[in-house]
Amino acid sequence: MPDGPVFRVENLSAWYGEAQVLRELNLDVEQGQVVTLVGRNGAGKTTTLRCLTGLHTQMQGRILLDGKDISGLPPHQRARLGLGYVPDDRGIYATLSVEENLRLPPKVGPDAWSLDRVYEAFPRLKERRRNPGSKLSGGEQQMLAMARVLAMGARLLLLDEPTEGLAPVLVQQIGGIIEEAKRHGATILLIEQNLRFATRVAERHNLLDHGHIVESLTNEEVKAREGELLTHLGV
């Protein structure tokens, strides 16, 4: 494996039509790290993830996974290389059962979680394994979406606000799953507005403002500036 970060974004710019939403964004994620991307609504966070996965193509710049430029690859090829994306709408199959959702995706790497391992980490999903996705609560759908990319064997997870709208007890469970995935070697880039949750699960936080990363902060720096950052984020 090449030296350097497992995932690197270089000078990423993106547009919707003539409107530029990302401006020469640079980002590194080291193997086994959990890193956040934080910013107020409209800062370009979701657009960043869509560029990284290949879902948004009106862009310039380079996206490197293990030193390989994947910028020109379609989404399915990026997934085969180990890039797992959990969108904010979760993207599960509503008419399929929990177990069918977990069995459907192909295995893309040696670190794919077995069904037994998924059910051990997500006992609620085991209880609901015969229920269709449409009958799950929001928290259960989020669990299923995360479990599915782990069952695929994704080693770099891109999570778009996984705790949004969830009750505190479910937020704690999602945090536990992120920590479990990290213990087993997963690398995670996380969009998250809940700063206290972010500092629990991540080591570094990138502040996105008007499509550009303006600061990269440690947990200690975030905690020391929590009031200022909450004001900036409009939380």
- Give per-residue pLDDT as tens, 35-61: 999 988 888 999 999 999 999 999 999
The one-character DSSP state at 107 is P
Stated pTM of the model: 0.88
With respect to residue 130, please indicate whether it lies within any of the assigned structural domains: no
pLDDT category, 2, cuts 50, 70, 90?
Answer: low
* 199 domain-assigned: yes
Q: Per the domain annotation, does 29 fall within a domain? A: yes
User: Residue 56 is part of a domain; what is its CATH number?
Assistant: 3.40.50.300
pLDDT in the model for residue 144: 92
Answer yes or no: is 103 within a domain: no
Range of the domain at 206: 7-91+154-233
The predicted pLDDT at position 15 comes to 96
What is the average per-residue pLDDT within 120-143?
90
Task: Write down the pLDDT at residue 3.
Answer: 63
Inside any domain, residue 129: no
- Tell me the mean pLDDT in the region 176-185: 82
Q: Among 59-68, 119-128, 166-175, where is mean pLDDT lowest?
A: 166-175
Residue 24 domain-assigned?
Answer: yes
Q: What is the mean pLDDT of residues 74-84?
A: 92
More confident residue, 177 or 130: 130
Residue 147 domain-assigned (yes or no): no
pLDDT in tens, 10-44: 999 999 999 999 999 999 999 999 999 998 888 89
- Is-contact 22 47, C-beta < 8 A? yes
Helix axes 168-183, 138-152, angle to 10 degrees: 10
Kindly report the average pLDDT of the chain as a whole number: 89
Task: State how many domains the chain has.
Answer: 1
Buried b (16+ CB within 10 A) or exposed e, 24-46: ebebbbeeebbbbbbbeeebbbb
What average pLDDT does range 146-157 have in this prediction?
90
Can you read off the two tokens belonging to residue 15?
């547009």
CA 204 to chain centre: 14
68 lies in some domain = yes
